[in-house]
Amino acid sequence: MSDTPRLLVIILNYRTAEMTLRAAEAALADMPEGAELVLIDNASGDGSARVLQEALSARGWDAEGRVRLILSNENGGFGAGNNLGLRAAMSDGTRPDYFYVLNSDAFPDRGCIGTLLDHLQVHPTAGFAASHVRGEDGVDHTTAFRFPSIAGEFEGAARIGPISKLLSKAVVAPPLPTTPTQVDWAAGASILIRAETLRDVGLFDETFFLYFEETDLILRAARTGWTCWFVPDARVVHVGSVSTGMREWARMPDYWFASRRHYFVKNHGRVYAALAWCARISGATIHAVRCRVTGQPSQDAPHFLPDLFRFGLGLGPAGRRQITPRSPSEDTL
């Protein structure tokens, strides 16, 4: 029996078929021998599934058995789509030892996947290893974080030096480490996950449509003793926000507010969630007033403060949006 770890790479596509194929090519060039790749079309409805299937055939990927395509019946969001890959077996029916989740607009440098794999293999209590992420312009993306908290909500919304200094230990996005470092959680754009960890804590909570799903998963794992690491020598280029259209948002979408509320209520209770909402409102108000007085442009999306207020009070369509929580224990490997 081979000691080579079984690695399954997962790339989720939503209406970005050509970009997804670029990500697949980059992943295939970096994948160790024996690793396999699954592409998941998240019910794109724009012909992406056909484009992906034709590309797999034209490039001979499907004949090799190293690349497979999974079609989702509905767009349940980031977590639900990736869960289809996390439930998948290797082509020979065996279960993977590790899963590498890669965004469809992210491209690993050579050696990235192997570096992450080596890190998890020498750190047996590490459940997650995330790579360094930079934009096409070479600018670092912030991808290693502390868990959200009441103080962190206030500091992150206020964005004022004295407040940030006073609450330095609560800053959600501290400076990126330059050496492998244990962090609270890391972004899911390029992250290696130990299968044993998922067997312990379950898969992504599909209540989250987008945002906070990896934060929730890594927090659940941390509470059972698993750690998350940021590994800066593993590097990827990330275009960012291609499938979500975030760059063109006129305002924050309802699902961001819904995911944020679900995260706090689920993991800390309703009272804590209410206090976190108050902290965010207070900080955002300070930021808005400061921008008004100084004439500086706001760093918040248009209508963010009134939308946050209405959502917290359950007013309007966004505030009344109901979500049905799913227990992670109901969805495991």
What is the reported pLDDT for 333?
76
What is the reported pLDDT for 160?
95
Contact predicate 268/274, CB 8 Å: no
What is the tens place of the pLDDT at every residue in 93-124? Answer: 999 999 999 999 999 999 999 999 999 999 99
What is the tens place of the pLDDT at every residue in 169-205? Answer: 999 999 999 999 999 999 999 999 999 999 999 999 9
Name 8's Cβ contacts closer than 8 Å, sequence gap at least 6.
Answer: 35, 36, 37, 38, 85, 88, 90, 96, 98, 99, 100
State the CB neighbour count (10 A cutoff) for residue 224: 10
Domain boundaries, the chain: 7-140+176-245, 254-320
192 three-state secondary structure: strand
Mean pLDDT, residues 236-259: 75
What is the reported pLDDT for 321?
46
| DSSP for 158-187, written as a single string | H--HHHHHHTGGG-SSPPPPSS-EEESEE-
Contact predicate 206/96, CB 8 Å: no
What is the tens place of the pLDDT at every residue in 4-56? Answer: 899 999 999 999 999 999 999 999 999 999 999 999 999 999 999 999 999 99
What is the tens place of the pLDDT at every residue in 207-247? Answer: 999 999 999 999 999 999 999 999 999 999 999 755 444 44
Query: Looking at the predicted structure, is the pLDDT value of residue 87 above 80?
Result: yes
Question: What residue type is assigned to position 286 of the chain?
Answer: I
Indicate the burial class of 156 (C-beta count within 10 angstroms; 0-12, 13-18, 19 or more). Answer: buried
What is the reported pLDDT for 242?
52
Question: What residue type is assigned to position 168 of the chain?
Answer: S
CATH of domain 7-140+176-245: 3.90.550.10
What is the tens place of the pLDDT at every residue in 145-157? Answer: 999 999 999 999 9
Mean pLDDT, residues 50-73: 94
Mean pLDDT, residues 283-295: 96
Contact predicate 96/198, CB 8 Å: no
